[in-house]
Structure 1
Amino acid sequence: MKKFLPLTVVLAGIALAVSGCSTATPGPGTAVPTTSAPASPASPSAAAATGWEMTPKGGADRIKAAGLEVLNAEGAAEHFHAHLEIFVDGKPVTVPADIGFSFTAAGQPNGISALHTHDESGIIHIEAPVAGETYTLGQLLTEWGVLDGADKTPGSAHSPIAEWSAVVNGKRQDSPAQAVVLKAHDEIVLYHGTAPSPLPTTYKFPEGV
C-alpha cells in the first residue's frame, strides 16, 4: 500500500507519490533524540535565531547544485535509509523535513530528488531511479543549504564544513565530513565543538525502514 508525501499535491499533472516509503516516527534508539522543535520558516525572527530551518525557495537549484536531478516521483531502483544527527557544542540541531524537494512560488512541492527527508526524525531517504549511485552527506547539506561557508561564525548554520567533525557508527572519519558516503542504516553524527556525550553510535530504525 502506498503512503503519500506529507505535502503531496497534484500540480500541473504531476503527482509526488511515495514508493513504499515509511514516514513513521522512529522508536527510541541508542541515538540521542533531537528534542528541539523547529520554528516555522515563515517566522523571520525564529529563522534568524538558528539559521537551520528549511527554506523552500531555491529548492530545485540546491538539488541541481548537489549534482542531483529534480524528479517527478521517488525512484524505485534502489531504496535505503541512513540517519543523521547534528550537534553544536553538544546541543542537538533539528534536521528538517523536505530537504531535497523543489517548490512552487506558492510553497507547494513540485519535485523531489533521490536524496531527501520527509520529517524531523533525521532519517535520510535514498530512493533512486538508478541503482549503484553514490550519495554523500555533502550532497544532503547542499540540498538543505547549510554549512556553505557563507558565515565564519564557528558552529553557525553557514559555517565552513571543514570545521565540523563526522562520526559514522561510532567511528571518527578522517576524510572531510562532506565526503561521507551514505549507506544503509548508518548512524551519522556531525558535530562542532564539544562532542555530544554519550556519542550516538547506532540508531533503531522503524520496522520496515
Structure 2
Amino acid sequence: MLGAMAAALLAAALAGACGSGRSSSPAGSPTTAASADPAGLAWPAPPPDRVIELAKAAGLVPETHESLEHHVHAHLDVYIDGQRRTVPAGIGIVITDPAVHRGVALGQPAYGGITECAQPCISPLHTHDVTGILHTESATFVDNTLGQFFKEWDVKLGPDCVGQYCASQTPIAVYVNGGKVALTDAPGVPLTDQEEIAVVVGRPPAHVPTHV
C-alpha cells in the first residue's frame, strides 16, 4: 500500500520521480501518511551543502542518480507532545543540483526525477516529499538503518536522546510496527519494506500507528 501511495504522490508531483510514551497501541491503527502536519517540522532538513558530508558520515555512498536494484519504503512518524510533526522532503538529496527536479506533493515542495548529476547528489537513503516515506534506492541489497537516516538528517538518535529531547527530562519512546523498541536499540532498526516506525517524544498521541 505504501509503495502505491508513494508512486501516486510522486507521479502527480514529479515526472519520473522515484526511478524516472505508552508501551502498547491499539491494533489496526494505521498511519496517516498522506496528510500535511499543521504542527510543522519535527526538525529541519540540513542545508544542501551538507547533504553529501552527512550521507558519508552515516556510512552511505552518494550517487549521481537513483539506483533501483534495491528499492524499499519504510515509513516514519514523529510525535512531539501528541502532535504529529513533518519529516522534511529532500533529506539525502542535494535539492539545489540542476539535475534534481522539483514538484509539489501535499502542497509542499517535493524532489526527484533525477536525470544524471554531474557529481554525487543523492544518498541511497532519502525522502522525496513530506509523507514520511523513507526511500532506500540502492545498487546494493543491504537494508539501511534508522540511525543512518537520523545521522543524515543531522538529528541525534540514542542512546538517551532524540534531537534536543533527552529521557532524563521528557519521556521518549520508539515503536516499530506497534512494538516498543529500546531507545538504545533504535539506531540499529533496519528500514525494511512496509515498516512503520514511530518516534514519540513527551505526551503520546491517542493512537500510535502500528502499520502502514
Q: Sort the TM-score into its range (normalised by shorter chain).
A: 0.5 to 0.7
> In the alignment, which residue of structure 2 is the partner of 1:69?
61
**Given residue 176 of structure 1, which amino acid in structure 2 is its aligned partner?**
D
> In the alignment, which residue of structure 1 is the partner of 2:83?
91
**Given residue 198 of structure 1, which amino acid in structure 2 is its aligned partner?**
H
Instruction: Label 1:165 to 1:89 Cα distance change in 2 as closer, same or farther (>3 A).
Output: same
Contact 1:18/1:73 (<8 A) preserved: no
Output one character per residue of 1:54-97: Cα deviation in whole Å (capped at 9) or x when no partner.
13231111111111011011112111101100011211110010
> In the alignment, which residue of structure 2 is the partner of 1:183?
192
Structure 2 residue matching 1:101: 3-state secondary structure: coil
**Given residue 36 of structure 1, which amino acid in structure 2 is its aligned partner?**
D
C-alpha displacement of 1:180: 1.2
C-alpha displacement of 1:18: 3.6
Output one character per residue of 1:103-148: Cα deviation in whole Å (capped at 9) or x when no partner.
55x89855111111100000111111111x1311111111111126
> In the alignment, which residue of structure 1 is the partner of 2:94?
102
Return the match for 1:54 from 10, 28, 45. Answer: 45
Distance 1:30 1:78 in 2: 25
Instruction: State the identity %.
Output: 33
Instruction: Label 1:37 to 1:91 Cα distance change in 2 as closer, same or farther (>3 A).
Output: closer
Instruction: Label 1:88 to 1:97 Cα distance change in 2 as closer, same or farther (>3 A).
Output: same
Distance 1:160 1:68 in 2: 27
Match runs of 1:88-167 below 5 Å: 88-103=80-95, 109=100, 111-131=121-141, 133-147=142-156, 157-159=163-165, 164-167=172-175
Instruction: Label 1:51 to 1:188 Cα distance change in 2 as closer, same or farther (>3 A).
Output: closer
Contact 1:88/1:192 (<8 A) preserved: yes
Distance 1:72 1:32 in 2: 32
> In the alignment, which residue of structure 1 is the partner of 2:19?
19
Contact 2:150/2:156 (<8 A) preserved: yes
Q: CA RMSD in A?
A: 3.4
Instruction: Label 1:83 to 1:17 Cα distance change in 2 as closer, same or farther (>3 A).
Output: closer
Contact 2:146/2:187 (<8 A) preserved: yes
TM-score by length of 2: 0.67
Contact 2:146/2:189 (<8 A) preserved: yes
> In the alignment, which residue of structure 2 is the partner of 1:80?
72
Contact 2:165/2:201 (<8 A) preserved: no
C-alpha displacement of 1:51: 7.0
